[in-house]
A = this chain, B = another copy of it.
Amino acid sequence: MHVTSIVNGVDLDRLSGTIEHVTAEPTLARFQFRARNHWIDGGYSRTTIKDFYGAGQEDATRTEPFTVDSDEPPVLLGENRAPNTVEYVLHALAACLSGTIVYHAAARGIALDGLETTIQGDLDLHGFLGLDGNVRPGYEQIRVTIKATGDFDDDQLAELASLTRYSPVRDIVSNPVPVAIDVARA
């Protein structure tokens, strides 16, 4: 008899299968994610996301691309057609912290009922506008509050907090990632 173990919506058999595969064949852990952005007007642009490489092959599970738009609010000369790019960073970080806690909690048998995350980032426009070389263009700091409900004791609550160290987007935001940019004529 095979019993499927689903904790927090995570299939534990598949999760341990992934870990076994990666342990047996480390190159299966290599992923390459991709996106294409098309500029429309001012701060308004559209990104399409579809294919990626991972687990030793090109993924073929997405038949249609995802479309993600960015714009700016009027005070930043846009028309509010979509969130702006630094708001997407907050989305990516909040969602990644949530998902990371959920997967790793599942692997440890900690059952969650809910996670609600609020996130704020402080930014000084002097950096983007190039008005003050001592002000960075990006966020000066980000604050995150995660409210968790579920069947866990205080030690496990502390463990949930510590699991955020595995979050890819936390790492990307907290630590330097080398970014190579080539600008050329089409």
| A residues whose Cβ falls under 8 Å from a Cβ of B | 8-11, 14-15, 18-19, 22-23, 26, 28-45, 47, 49, 52, 54-55, 59, 61-62, 66, 68, 70, 72-77, 80, 82-104, 112, 114-131, 136-149, 157, 160-161, 164-186
Contact = CB atoms under 8 A, between A and B. Distances in A.
A86 to B, nearest CB: 5
B99 A83 contact: no
Most chain B CB within a 10 A radius of its CB, from A91, A127, A182? A91
A22 B91 contact: no
6 contacts: A47-B91, A72-B99, A85-B92, A85-B99, A136-B171, A139-B168
B59 A147 contact: no
Contact of A10 (B15, B52, B77, B165): B77
A148 B178 CA distance: 22
A167 B44 CA distance: 15
Contacts of A59: 73, 75
